[in-house]
Amino acid sequence: MKTAFGLVSLVVVALLLRSTALSVLAARGVVLDVLAFVTVLWALKSGEGWGSTFGFVLGLVSDLDAGHWLGRHALALAALGYVVGRLSRSLVRDSVRTQLVILFVVTFLHQTWSLLFELRGPVGLGFLLGRAAVAGAATALAGTVALILVHWGAGQPLFGHADIQSGPAH
């Protein structure tokens, strides 16, 4: 029940941010992909089952809001939530480097997938990949800084230890 409430709250917050503050930034060319960010966050915390569920619900609501291609974000975010959730078992989830890389890769993939639907030929492919890479870098940096700040504020690890920690075996 608590998890479901958290899921709904995070979906609402993400969509509100996306339609208000972040839309101004996006118009200036800096796309902060809050959908990818919160999906990564949820999947790292809760694993692949909840990760894909969260991604699917968030994606579906945002597809509905966009008015085109129902299922576009839902499919990508469900798959990415699942993959990140699976990876979270074997990663040091509180590592800044891990968060940076995961956020970059997930945002890049999500943006590329979403932008592919706008492509009307091979002409814009370079521009599309460039836009996805910029969005990936911006989201990774901003997201990692946000997680560091929350970590400092909370005074404890955000995600706890992974099932299998990396490093030399004892």
Partner 1 sequence: MGGFLPPAESRSNLLLVAYAAASLVLLLTGDRLPQSALRGVGAALFAPFDRVVLAGDRLSAAWRENARLHQRLADLELENVRLRDEGVENQRLREQLGLASRRPSALRPVEVLALTGEPIPSAATLSAGERHGVRVGDVVIERDGLVGRVTEVYPTLSRATLLTEPNNAVACEVESAGVMGVLHYVTTPRPRLVLTGLSFTDTVRVGQRVITSGLSRHYPRALPVGTIARVNRDAGGFTQDIEVAPAVRLSKLRHAFVIPRTDSLPESR
Which residues contact partner 1 by CB under 8 A?
Answer: 12, 15-21, 23-24, 26-29, 31, 47-49, 52-53, 55-56, 59-61, 63-67, 69-72, 74-75, 78-79, 82, 85, 118-121, 123-124, 126-128, 131
| CA distances, 160 to each of 25, 52, 79 (Å) | 32, 20, 23
- Whichever of 77 and 92 has its CB closer to partner 1, that residue is 77
How many C-beta atoms lie closer than 10 Å to residue 6's C-beta? 15
Which among 158, 61, 150, 54 is positioned nearest to 106, based on CA atoms?
Answer: 54
Residue matched to tokens 């909370």: 154
Q: What are phi and psi of 159, to 5 degrees?
A: -110, -10
> Secondary structure of the chain: what % helix, strand, coil (to 5)?
75, 0, 25
- Tokens, residue 143: 């997201």
Distance CA 54, CA 69 (A): 19
